[in-house]
Amino acid sequence: MAQQSAAATSQQGNVNPPAGGGGGGDMCTAYETRFSVIDVKVNEKEKGATLQAGPISAEEQKKQAELLKEASKRAEENVQQLPSSGRRLFLARHGERMDRVFPGWLRLAFSEFGMYRPYDLNMPLSLPPRINGPSDFHDDTPCTEIGYVTAQMIGRGARLTRVSFSHVYCSPALRCVQSAHGMLKAWPGTTTKIRIEPGLFEYMGWYRNGLPPFLTPQEMVAQGYEVEIDYAPIMTIADMKTKAAKETLAEYYERSSKVITEIINKHPNPPWNILVVGHAPTLDAASRKLIAKPTAVPSEQDMNQMGLHFPYGAVVALEEVEDRSKWQLMHSALPPISYLEFTNRINFRFFNR
Domain total of the chain? 1
Cβ 305 vs Cβ 74: under 8 Å: no
Instruction: Indicate whether 222 belongs to any domain.
Output: yes
Could you say which of 93, 97, 175, 181 is catalytic? 93
Could you say which of 88, 94, 175, 309 is catalytic? 94
The model carries a pTM of 0.80
**Average pLDDT score over the chain:** 84
What's 161's domain CATH number?
3.40.50.1240
Q: Give the closest residue to 143 by CA, choosing from 290, 279, 304, 300.
A: 279
Instruction: Indicate whether 134 belongs to any domain.
Output: no
Exposed e or buried b per residue across 214-224, where buried means at least 16 C-beta atoms within 10 angstroms of its C-beta: bbebeebbebe
For residue 180, name the pLDDT band (cuts at 50, 70, 90): very high
Residue of 348 and 41 predicted with greater confidence:
348
Residue 145 sits in which domain range?
Answer: 2-9+84-106+139-351
Cα–Cα distance measured from residue 259 to residue 254, given in angstroms and rounded to the nearest whole number: 9
The helix/strand/coil state of 266 is coil
**Percent of all residues in the chain with a pLDDT value above 90, rounded to a whole number:** 67
Instruction: Indicate whether 25 belongs to any domain.
Output: no
pLDDT of residue 50: 44
CA dist list (Å): 292 to 100, 264, 279, 289, 328: 33, 16, 21, 5, 9
Residue 279 is among the residues annotated as catalytic for this protein: yes
**Percent of all residues in the chain with a pLDDT value above 70, rounded to a whole number:** 79
Dihedral sign for Cα 20, 26, 30, 32, please: positive
Residue 138 is among the residues annotated as catalytic for this protein: no
Instruction: Indicate whether 77 belongs to any domain.
Output: no
Reported as a single tens digit per residue, the pLDDT across 144-175 is 999 999 999 999 999 999 999 999 999 999 99
Instruction: Indicate whether 114 belongs to any domain.
Output: no
Cα–Cα distance measured from residue 32 to residue 27, given in angstroms and rounded to the nearest whole number: 9
Res. 281: pLDDT tops 70:
yes
Instruction: Indicate whether 312 belongs to any domain.
Output: yes
* 308-316: average pLDDT: 97
For residue 261, name the pLDDT band (cuts at 50, 70, 90): very high
Instruction: Indicate whether 254 belongs to any domain.
Output: yes
Q: Give the closest residue to 162 by CA, choosing from 42, 17, 337.
A: 17
Instruction: Indicate whether 231 belongs to any domain.
Output: yes
* 288-313: average pLDDT: 91
Reported as a single tens digit per residue, the pLDDT across 97-136 is 999 999 999 999 999 999 999 999 999 999 999 999 999 9
Cα–Cα distance measured from residue 335 to residue 317, given in angstroms and rounded to the nearest whole number: 12
Residue of 12 and 291 predicted with greater confidence:
291
Could you say which of 97, 181, 195, 279 is catalytic? 279
Q: At 87, which helix (H) or strand (E)?
A: strand 84-93
Cα–Cα distance measured from residue 254 to residue 256, given in angstroms and rounded to the nearest whole number: 6
